[in-house]
Amino acid sequence: MRGLSQSVFVGPSIDWWALLPQMILLGAALLILLVSALAPQRTSGGFSTVTTLCAAITAYIVALGLWSDVQTEGPSASIASALGVDGFSIFFTILILTGLVATALIAHSYLEREGIDPPEFHALLLCSAAGAIVMASANDLIVMFLGLEALSIGLYVMIAMHARRPEARESAMKYFVLGAFSSTFLLYGIALIYGSTGSTNLVHVRDYLGAVVFRDQHLLMAGMALLLVGFSFKVAAAPFHFWAPDVYQGAPSPVTGWMASIAKAAGFAAFLRVFFGAFGAHNADWSPVVAVLAFLTLVIGAVMAILQTDVKRMLAFSSISHAGYVLVAVQSTADAGTSAALFYLFTYTFMVLGSFAIIGAMGADEEQPLARYAGLGRSRPVLAMAFTILLLAQAGIPLTSGFVGKFQVIAAAVGHRSYLLAAVAMLSAVIGAFMYLRIVMTMYVVDEGTEGPSPTLHWTVAIVLIGTVGFTLLVGIVPQFLIEFAEDAVPVLIRG
């Protein structure tokens, strides 16, 4: 028809270099599934582990190149500003890839011992890591939600893969229910934010809120509140932690370490990007609510941890308490608080991955009573020493990364004049130290003649322990390089 003009569709510009880390991880997952489907008899756990490690290392090299580009040329965006390429996203990309390497090494011997199919596990782990990177990079609420679901769906299946344990299937179902609650609140919050601002893009939302004076802010406040609740479910902040300790206890130990470190870090990455990037001008509205969440999370996590008798459950409530420290930094709404939160998340990841590596090496993953660790300092002194260092770091003992992290968080709260919250954080550290010292005492203080456990330590787990313990001590003594890394990631949370 000659009278009608033809319109030409112009697609968004795509920076494939910026998307390369996610593409590498997804490509490796597809490769593992393809090879295992075509040659199931020849696909070993070693092939899956090596493929995962190669993909993570390659993506890590690409991330370092992206960091160099951001430092020299400034931040950029891809896919119509749906994904941000800035110091913040690359910081979390490096953190997620580091956790991916550690989890793959921890899971190598665990999967073989427990009879879990390695190709499926590693494919899900890679997809989950790609979803976490998307969450940390998303400049759009819809894209962030897609990354969240990619992260969560992989976790649901990985938790339930221990088919012989009813606790694993129960934990998977509980985590699915928690994820459904979280997704419901997030989607409703996204809808309300779109209704009040006309966009789901964080750049457009920020610019709109900076230019428009609302006569009635109820719709916007409701959207922000629902997003806050949804993210609180994901980071297991009280009182939204509900079944999180049960899930952590019932899941396979490598998966528990992944949930407690990387899944929590990805949740906080999305939280920070949304509330600091898009809602920074309204920090007076959401900062007091975050302060209340931090208070409840610190108190409930620390108090409930000391009441437990299962080591895995102790560390589950400890993880909730650590989320409270990050929230203390977040509520300060300042660059110092944001850098403190990033520093804390980075150091905490190493501490918790090393701790769950030891728990996974202790044998049967059904229950981890405190009595199982009695005499470990006598039978396996090196393993007990590594566990002691990681536990003391989580308690915030000087000369460890945990002390520097807690100091920065409390300093950010004091700088924001949140003196009560800073005092609660210090009191929570004292209460939590009792639980950590209780485990340490059990390992070393035993009756004469008592034979301690003698777990077999696979060489892949030994590599993880050397790396996590070494990093924990290094940052505790020389923290400046990581402090500067976190500070460089703060100013470029989001750009138009």
Across the chain, what does the average pLDDT equal?
A: 87
Which amino acid, residue 249? Q
In DSSP terms, 369 is beta-bridged to 310
pLDDT of residue 218: 85
Residue 76's pLDDT band (boundaries 50, 70, 90)?
Answer: confident
Question: Where does the pLDDT of residue 362 fall: very low under 50, low under 70, confident under 90, or very high at 90 and above?
Answer: confident
Tens digits of residue pLDDT in 169-186: 888 898 898 888 889 999
Q: How many helices (H) and strands (E) does the chain have?
A: 20, 2
Instruction: Give the per-residue pLDDT at 494.
Output: 46
For residue 110, pLDDT over 90 is answered with: no
Distance CA 245, CA 263 (A): 14
Burial class of residue 371 (count of CB atoms within 10 Å of its CB; 0-12, 13-18, 19+):
exposed
Average pLDDT over residues 368-381: 83
For residue 1, pLDDT over 50 is answered with no
Rounded Cα–Cα distance for residues 363 and 343 (Å): 32
What is the per-residue burial (b if ≥16 Cβ within 10 Å, else e) of 124-139? bbbbbbbbbbbbbbbb
Tokens of 294: 């931090």
User: 263: which 2 tokens?
Assistant: 């899944």
The CA-atom distances, in angstroms, between 84 and each of 187, 356, 374 are: 21, 32, 49
DSSP state of 478: S
Q: How many other C-beta atoms lie within 10 A of the C-beta of residue 3? A: 4
478 residue type, one letter: V
8 Å CB contact between 386 and 379: no
pLDDT digits (tens, 9 = 90+) for 447-488: 665 666 677 788 899 999 999 999 999 999 999 999 999 988
Angstrom distance (rounded) from CA 390 to CA 382: 13
- Work out the average pLDDT over 17-42: 88
- At residue 493, the pLDDT reads 47
Tell me the whole-structure pTM to 2 decimals: 0.93
Which pLDDT score, from 0 to 100, does residue 269 have? 92
CA of 398: how far to CAs of 16, 102, 402, in Å? 44, 25, 8
Q: What is the bridge-based pairing of β-strands 76-78 and 83-85?
A: antiparallel
For residue 138, pLDDT beyond 60:
yes
CB of 209 within 8 A of CB of 281? yes
What is the crossing angle of helices 87-114 and 335-361, to 10°?
10
- The structure tokens listed for 203 are 């750049």
Position 263 pLDDT exceeds 50: yes
End-to-end CA distance of the chain: 41
Share of the chain above pLDDT 70, in %: 94
The C-alpha atoms of residue 433 and residue 392 are separated, in whole angstroms, by 8
pLDDT digits (tens, 9 = 90+) for 404-438: 999 999 999 998 888 899 999 999 999 989 999 99
Q: At what angle do helices 480-489 and 335-361 cross, to 10 degrees?
A: 120
Please give the DSSP secondary-structure letter assigned to residue 310: B
User: What mean pLDDT is predicted for residues 70-90?
Assistant: 84
